[in-house]
Chains A and B, each alone.
Chain A
């Protein structure tokens, strides 16, 4: 299947300085790719370069055709002091498609209503964004991305700062939106365990180690790949149908399906 969007032999970074080199990354329709690595490891830089929002330092960005993208930034990058309602925030997802001079119409408002309903917060459309809980704000930002009717949904640390229940609910929502491949999803996370039960493909990124490695989920959860990312022993264990990923000390035994 041809890629929606791809980086080929790319060097990504800021101000002409490459943080990561030889990045090959391709996103096909229906993919669920998680970009994992430490904070400040270059994940968001790679993501924004993939979207064309940051210029390439080298290599190529390939977009065989125009792709409708929905983008969800880190929740704390969005200033909650602005007096928008959740519905108004979601409506912004339609702005690039409407274009200058024109105002949002009935179709745009219907798409926003549908998007809010898909993430389960239709009833909050009139509430001030700043008064919502962290989980509700995250759903509002996802609704905004969905309002653009995207083929590719891109999320930057969507569960950052959430309690475990809200984190699980958000990840389950993303799985439902992915729908087994109806929507391509690319998400960034600094927590591997957060995505190990959802993504199909993993990319490990750490600029300090010069690491950029992409592969299928099972391949990337092997000891050698995990060791390259974390630089220490990491165990992967199945429990109640869920993968648990955790670092271990040398004294601990290998109680799981993989350990680096």
Chain B
């Protein structure tokens, strides 16, 4: 039996994780268009670390008060709270007295240090944390798939309902403000969706692929110069393709899943980069 036939035969194992990865890839690819165009790529890196910090904090509390059983939803809820608050502070309500890079960099490095410190104090859950942080797509549960699907539906609804307000406020906030639009409210709505998507997707994909999927599929789509609206569709499709193909290839070639997904996403950006180079 060939490796591919073996893969097809193991459908019950991979169908839930693959579906979760595909939905997460589509969602992050779509949101990544705003992340890239607003030049907030490193905000997403900081949010991923803040989300991990929320997870570590929950695990620490669970161990300290001797909660024996797994509390996946509580962990996800705290990770989401950290990420959403971070998204609002770093994205929508950023203090203007500091350059954006300073506050984003500070958030990233402080969250990273606290994750390391927190992990060093974990006794039992430390070995589980690797999968949670770096992704363990094989172990995604049906409940986690449902969570990702709900978050994706919510984010899609917000972006469908307020597409023109989010686009205008992001593209030219000065004019939008001058015309009386509540720019901070729209910024908050945008970063709320990003802040929710990151921890939900990180449960399935891990931190590295989440950061990559918020950058590479959108960059790949934008390099092809397909226009604003089509860039969202294309970036979402690239996200699905990178997640799906990365998952399958990692299974067939026995590679780590997250990095394989990132490699496929990087490959998808190549045609656009070559095309852009040829056009000059």
Contacts and interface: CB of A to CB of B under 8 A. Distances in A.
Contact of B228 (A51, A53, A88, A101): A88
B174 interface: yes
Interface residues of B, number: 23
Nearest to A103: B164
B161 interface: yes
Interface string B136-174: 000000000000000000000000011011011001101
Contacts of B165: 95, 100
Contact of B227 (A73, A85, A95): A85
Interface stretch (B112-120, B175-183, B198-206, B246-254): B175-183
B217 to A, nearest CB: 15
B174 A82 contact: no
Contacts, number: 70
Contacts of A96: 176, 179-181
Contact of B178 (A71, A81, A88, A103): A71
Given A95-B181, A96-B181, A100-B161, A81 B225 contact: no
Interface in A100-121: 100-101, 103-104
B222 interface: yes
Majority DSSP secondary structure for residues of B touching A: helix
A147 B172 CA distance: 16
Contacts of A85: 227
B72 interface: no
A73 B181 contact: no
B270 interface: no
Contact of A84 (B162, B178, B179, B228): B228
A148 interface: yes
B150 to A, nearest CB: 22
Given A82-B37, A95-B164, A104-B164, A77 B181 contact: no
Interface of B: 37, 161-162, 164-165, 167-168, 171-172, 174-181, 222, 225-228, 231
Would you list the 6 A-B pairs with minimal beta carbon distance, nearest first?
A71-B178, A53-B177, A53-B178, A96-B179, A92-B168, A73-B174
